[in-house]
Structure formats: structure tokens, C-alpha cells
Amino acid sequence: MKPLLTQLKPLSALSLLCASLLVPATAQSLTPQDFAELDKAIAAVKTQAGLPFGSAIALVHQGKVIYQHQSGYADIQRQLPVNSETAFYIASATKPFTALAFLLLAQQSKVNLEQSLQQMWPQQKFPNIDASRITLRQLLTHQSGLDNQPLVWATAYSGVHTPETLKALTSMSVPDPEAKTGEFRYSNVGYNIASLWLDAQSSTVWQDQLQQLIFKPLGMAHSSARQSEAKQWPLALPYSLMKSAEPLYLPLYLQKTDATMHAAGGMFASAGDLAKFVAAQMPAIKSSLPAEVISQSQQTQVSTNSSYGDFQRSGYAWGWYSGPYKGQPMLHHFGGFPGYSAHLSLLPAQQMGLVILHNEDMLSRDLNNLIADYFYGLLLGDSGTKARVQAGFAKLGQKLAQLPAMKQAQQQKIAGRKTLLSLPYQAYTGRYLHPQLGEMTVSLDAQQLVFHWGALDAVATGFDKPDTLRLELVPNSGEVLTFGVENGVVRQLAFSGMTFIKQR
């Protein structure tokens, strides 16, 4: 295997790509050979990156998968290649599934989308918000106006929770300082709250709702909202260019468990299964899912006026962003988590859709933009596709060439910060408790403070404020933690709006 980010010839495949596709293709004439040079370009990027991470791609047209791509490794150390059954964690690309499940339940009169949060939990108090003004519809379309970072941390990262503590955390929701109720602001909070309520009032938990309402009818045999079920298939382990260097090619330490699979981001699925879901969204394709509910799920509920890479986001439907792409109405949702990237998109009127999965998190935005541009460009007969893709891969190659220096600079910046603790290290060690979030422990190892909270671990580094440290509990994402010291005694620690009290 090549050294990390060695300077090879990453763009030679793209030169061939442009030479080999001189005539714009039409959807009717596409064959796997039309994509062979793009396959080579993707391989060249991985070679330059020095990390043979896994990718799975499925292109859908008129209800059928007309192109599949599997490359790289699901497990690099064991050299287990990605295959058609490999399941990837898809993170927030779960949201279209969860939202559709609620719409299907509403069709069956099992939920009322206009029910208020207070009506959903009539006995529960919400001291910080007016729960009578927030509806289930708003929870599922990012219009709730709520913030609740402790709930997000518990469900997505630490995994330390019970039904009782999650219900208590829901009561701690506060107004979002950046968006009022009825205004759009993307977060996991609404989906978390909606699924907790569904689990409390139904005999079927949200994971099984997805299985019964969507996976089974569509024949999605390699999809699950439980990691314990998904591990029976080949699972793609998480990697990152910033962490998974040779010679060991270690996966990221933070890996999903059932306790951190949640309704806003809690699915493992193969590209082939996701292609079945994408195909079911096409209005001209007969599906085992009710056409009227599929149509409802695609209706824009709120304006967004934003973009992500090449993708315009003028509105948000039920788990789908909506907006124009290459002059066509598009629906899309992406997912990102340390070591994973997922892309789901479709042009319903053109009966075209695309699934892109990687078990790497740093290249995904640029790489997925290029893959989508190329595939949709070919299908739509866009004569400028080849030149754009060539230029895009050239730019991506330049970014990769700069990454070692960027990585080194970041490491030096972090290492260069002094630790400004007012007491000896030993004074900060011990157990810290939060009534709903559980226990965080701080220990001392080789004159470094080590933090442990559920699924999370981190070795602290310095920060430029007194009694404050930097933690990388989530790979590639730093958190600033502050100790509360009073009269020479450590009383508490706090980060991201959460406070844990030190135990004597």
C-alpha cells in the first residue's frame, strides 16, 4: 500500500476520461463502459490519498439500477473488499426513512401530525418552552425552534441513556437562539423527540417501524436500524484521512452501537438497498409503498434558501431537501459521521437517482459532487460534463497534495497550546455525574488527563484559558471543556452546555 498522500499521478485517469467520452451519452445508450474512466479516476484519488477506503455507488434510471460500483475495503487491515452486501452507516440520510415512516403511520391514523408536543406528552412539563405551539409536523421538518444538545450527545455519541433519562432530557429542551418555531434550522432534535414519543406510545419501537413499513415491503434485506443486526453482514468500518494512516490503517475508535443508533441518524444499509428506496420515490415507478404517501413526503414544508456544494436547497420536505439541480427539480439528503459519508439524491421527473457511500469522511463532499455531476450530466446529455469533472478532479488532487501540510499545522497548533490548570493534575481526576447523562470519569495516565464517557474517550490537550482543556471526544471535532474550581477544589466540569458534578 502507498504512503499516506504520496504524490502519484491522480489525474491520468481523468485525461483518459475526457478523451474516451467525446460524444454526450443519452440515458438510453448508457452502459457500464461509459463509467469505466470515472471508476479509474475514483481509484486514482484513493491511490493519491494513500487510504484504500471503501465506496459503493448505485445509479438508478426508470426504476432500475443501471450502474453499480464497489471499490476499496470495508476493513482495510483484514483486506475485506466492499461487495454488494456491504452495509455502511448512513448517518443523517436516515431522516427520509424516519419521516416516511411517520407519514405511513399517519395514513393509518396511528399518529396525528398536527398534534402538539404538549398533547403528545400531556403529563410532562416543559419549563423552558411553550410545548403547545410545537407540532409533530414541525419536529419532523426542522421547524420546532428547539435546541437540546444534551439529548443529541446522549443519543448520537455517548450512548449513556435509558427511556427515563431520555424523557427527562426531552423536558430540558430550550428555545433555539437561531430560529423561532416555524422557522427552518436543521438539527437532530426534532427527530429524536418524535421517535422517543413514538416508542413511548406504541408497542413497536421506531427501529421496527422502519423494518415493517419500509425495509420489508421494498425487499431491503441488508438494511437495519440496529448495529447488532447489521453486523451479520459485511460492515464497512470507519476511516479518516486525518487519522487512519499507514502502516496500521486503523479504523476510527468511535464506532456505532445500538445505543447510539437514533432516528435522526441510525441506519446501516447497502447501496443496492438504498437504490430500491430511491427507485420507490419515482412517481412513474410502481412501488409496494403507497404512491400518495410517497408524493406527500416530497412536498416542500418550509423554505430554506441554502446550498451544500453543488446542491441548492430552496426547501425541506419530509426528510428531503428540495431544490433545482441542472435545471431539474431534485430531492436529496446526505449523511456524515466520523468515518462515513452517504449521499441520496433523485430527479423524480427524470426517473433518475443516485446512491453514494464511503467509509471515509474527509473527501466525501468534493468527491460526491464530482460523481453526481458526472452521472447526472451524462444522463441529461450535458455537453459540459467532461470539462467540469476533469477540472474538479484536478482541484481535488491539489487539495490532497496540500493535506499533509494542513494536518501537520493543525497538530502543531493543538500541541502548542499550554495547559493552564490551577491545581495539580491529580486534583481533577475522579467521577463526575449528571443526573440524566450519567458518569464521566477523569483519570491520569503519563501526566495526561484521560476522559471517558460511555462510548467516548479522549486524551485532553491544552487550551488558552485557565482550567480549560480541549477534548476530541468525536474524531476530527474538538470540544472545549472547563473545570469549575472553587476555593482550591474542583467542583464540576462543563462543555457543550452540559455540566457534570464532581463526586467526593
How do residues 246-300 score in pLDDT, each as one tens digit? 778 999 999 999 999 999 999 999 999 999 999 999 988 888 999 999 999 999 9
**What is the pTM (predicted TM-score) of this model?**
0.93
Closest CA to 338 of 232, 256, 233, 461: 256
**H or E segment at 165?**
helix 163-171
Domain finish residue from 201, 216, 242: 201
The pLDDT assigned to 227 comes to 98
On the question of pLDDT at 353 being above 90, the answer is yes
* Angle at the Cα of 304 from the Cα atoms of 302 and 307, rounded to 5 degrees: 145
Cα–Cα distance, 250 to 254 (Å, whole number): 11
Please write the tens of the pLDDT for every residue from 186-216: 999 999 999 999 999 999 999 999 999 999 9
Cβ neighbour number for residue 297 with a 10 Å cutoff? 20
The pLDDT assigned to 383 comes to 85
On the question of pLDDT at 16 being above 60, the answer is no
CATH number, residue 358: 3.40.710.10
The pLDDT assigned to 74 comes to 98
Domain, as residue range, for 483: 425-502
* 2 vs 311 pLDDT, higher one: 311
The pLDDT assigned to 29 comes to 57
The one-letter amino acid at 172: M
**Has residue 104 been placed in a domain?**
no
CATH number, residue 115: 1.20.58.710
Q: Percent of the chain at pLDDT above 90? A: 86
Whether 160 and 193 share a structural domain? yes
Q: Which of 35-39, 168-172, 367-371, 425-429 has the lowest mean pLDDT?
A: 35-39
Please write the tens of the pLDDT for every residue from 391-414: 999 999 999 999 999 999 998 999
The DSSP string of 340-392 is EEEEEEEEGGGTEEEEEEESBSSSHHHHHHHHHHHHHHHHTT-TTHHHHHHHH
On the question of pLDDT at 5 being above 90, the answer is no
On the question of pLDDT at 30 being above 80, the answer is no
Please write the tens of the pLDDT for every residue from 409-428: 998 999 899 999 999 999 99
**Has residue 2 been placed in a domain?**
no
The pLDDT assigned to 373 comes to 96
**Has residue 413 been placed in a domain?**
no
Within a 13 Å sphere around the CA of 327, how many CA atoms are in the beta-carbon half? 4
Mean pLDDT of the chain: 92
- With a CB cutoff of 8 Å and minimum separation 6, the contacts of 398 are none
Whether 382 and 284 share a structural domain? yes
Average pLDDT over residues 321-340: 98
Whether 316 and 442 share a structural domain? no
Number of domains in the chain: 3
The pLDDT assigned to 53 comes to 96
Q: Three-state DSSP class for 123?
A: coil
CATH number, residue 476: 2.40.128.50
Confidence of residue 181 (pLDDT cuts 50, 70, 90): very high
Confidence of residue 17 (pLDDT cuts 50, 70, 90): very low
Please write the tens of the pLDDT for every residue from 126-173: 999 999 999 999 999 999 999 999 999 999 999 999 999 999 999 999
Q: Three-state DSSP class for 285?
A: coil
Average pLDDT over residues 368-382: 94
**Has residue 420 been placed in a domain?**
no
The pLDDT assigned to 384 comes to 87
**Has residue 263 been placed in a domain?**
yes
The pLDDT assigned to 248 comes to 80
**Has residue 410 been placed in a domain?**
no
On the question of pLDDT at 15 being above 80, the answer is no
* 369 vs 31 pLDDT, higher one: 369
Average pLDDT over residues 344-358: 97
**Has residue 5 been placed in a domain?**
no
